[in-house]
Amino acid sequence: MANKNLFQAIRGALVPAATVRNDAGAPAYELSPKATLARLAATGCLTRTYYATAETQLDRVLELARQVDVDFLAQTALYARRKGFMKDMPALLCAVLATRDLDRLAEIFPQVIDNGKMLRNFVQILRSGVTGRKSLGSAPKRLVRQWLERANERQLVNATIGNDPSLADVVKMVHPRPADATREAFYAWLVGKPFDAAALPETLRAYEAWKLSKEGEVPDVPFQMLTALDLGDREWSMIAGNASWQTTRMNLNTFARHGVFKFGGMTEKLAARLADPEQVRRARVFPYQLLVAFLNADKAVPGVLREALQDAMEVAISNVPEINGSVVVCADVSGSMHGPVTGYRPGASSVVRCVDVAGLVAAAFLRKNRNARIIPFKEDVVSLELNPRDTVMTNATKLSSLPPGATNCSAPLRLLNTEKAAPDLVVFVSDNESWADPRANRGTAMMVEWEKLKTRNPKARLVCIDLVPNTTAQAPDRKDILNIGGFSDSVFDLIAAFAAGADGTDHWISEIELQPLTERMKLA
């Protein structure tokens, strides 16, 4: 018999050598500039995370943006906004483009800067000086003016919500030329100058009149324009009846406090809205946002609305792939995963934790792949039985409620190797900051264990979903390994393509590079 120790050593030598240290100080693999920028763009909210400060993230993005070509920079901004539904990062990349290639910026501007919030983000970032300039400049001013000129009445009214800068500040900076009396009256109303009330947009005329009389129908203006006013139960019921899908999801407790559900038919109306598949898709809701709404709904919220949120969840995860073969999902429940998924913000941190998202991904896979195996892990694997017939909400809550610990990404693979299991697809959902693994001679412990598993099933594939803005990986991109940053419904599409045989090497980068520039401009 051949010497097992000898050949085991040779096999270990084939594990790629770790090239850097991660933010936790442990061995890891360095990503390419494109892969790193893509990951930061899809996960970074420019706020402090468990391991990295907001300033560190910003410095990393700016340095990487200088290293990639302008086409990829523009495509990454498009992808982060359209697929990742990010806000700050796409605006930052557009601000960087304003210093590198104004033609590329003009091509993607209407597609990335697609609402008032994004417009204000872009102006704020550009004027901050972090990208190298403190004034808008003639070309960016022209793009902002064009956005204002092309925006319809509803977009403009919605854009009045928010400050630092406010839409009024932006208008004062770029001096748009009103095309008609209505737009002239709107700009005057916005900046606090005398205006012709009869010429205001219809919704604002109704709003100004209603503020004075509080009679008749509540005007159809953004929720935030109404909540500061002195309203009664009837007015709150009207607000709820006209609310958008997202406003409804976010204000169930508020509606309950103001007596909305005591009005006949309101509960059923709001439940139908929340469960409407078309409205769920149009709202571009993150599945974990539904989980948070479900968990935060207090006892005063009728049960039928909780049921509607579960129905909406089924729509939100409808593109979770059904995988041919054996599937294992490894959910990281370690201590660092208990931080907010969008980072720490004083007084405004999201209640959604990374561990909530990990639990949700695992539960969603189990929902569509009833024979999938779920392995929670921290410094070691955690024993947990989940019923695939339970709802996504139920199983996600069970997973996210597990006690925290250290991070050892090799632990689930080591368990599979001990059992001599040979899964076809292994999906990790983690913050990728593994540090409690056994010492590996050459590469990371996770890669050592993955190579062992591959000897039993050479066709096995590994997906690593990274939920925080990292610049390293525990397993490098290659044909059988796919690294993905962030979590939105597009993640499931990427996994489905990869499981069907797509090459993991730079696969995510290829997806970003498929974002057309000129064609999207034509759709504006």
Task: State the Cα–Cα distance between residues 406 and 31, nearest whole angstrom.
Answer: 24
The H or E element containing residue 129 is: none
Yes or no: say if 427 and 329 are a contact pair by the CB < 8 Å rule: yes
Residue 458 corresponds to which tokens in the numbers above?
């050479």
Yes or no: say if 326 and 300 are a contact pair by the CB < 8 Å rule: no
Closest C-alpha among 418, 192, 462, 442 to residue 327: 462
Extents of the domains making up the chain = 69-214, 222-316, 320-521
- Per mean pLDDT, which of 133-137, 182-186, 283-287, 364-368 is the most reliable? 182-186
Query: With 50 as the cut, is the pLDDT of residue 369 above it?
Result: yes
Task: State the Cα–Cα distance between residues 438 and 124, nearest whole angstrom.
Answer: 46
Task: Report how far Cα 239 is from the mean position of its chain's Cα atoms.
Answer: 28
In tens, the pLDDT along 76-135 reads: 999 888 887 778 889 999 999 999 999 999 999 999 999 999 999 999 999 998 888 778
pLDDT recorded at residue 350:
65
Residues 6+ apart with CB under 8 A from 382: 333, 375, 376, 402
pLDDT recorded at residue 58:
83
What do you get for the CA distance between the two ends of the chain, in Å?
A: 69
pLDDT recorded at residue 6:
41
Task: Name residue 30's beta-bridge partners.
Answer: 472
In CATH terms, the superfamily for domain 320-521 is: von Willebrand factor, type A domain (3.40.50.410)
Tell me 441's DSSP state: S
**Residue 391 burial (CB < 10 Å; 0-12/13-18/19+)?**
middle
- Mutual angle of helices 70-82 and 88-100, in 10-degree steps: 160
The mean predicted confidence, pLDDT, of the chain is: 87
Task: State the Cα–Cα distance between residues 159 and 136, nearest whole angstrom.
Answer: 19
Query: With 50 as the cut, is the pLDDT of residue 373 above it?
Result: yes
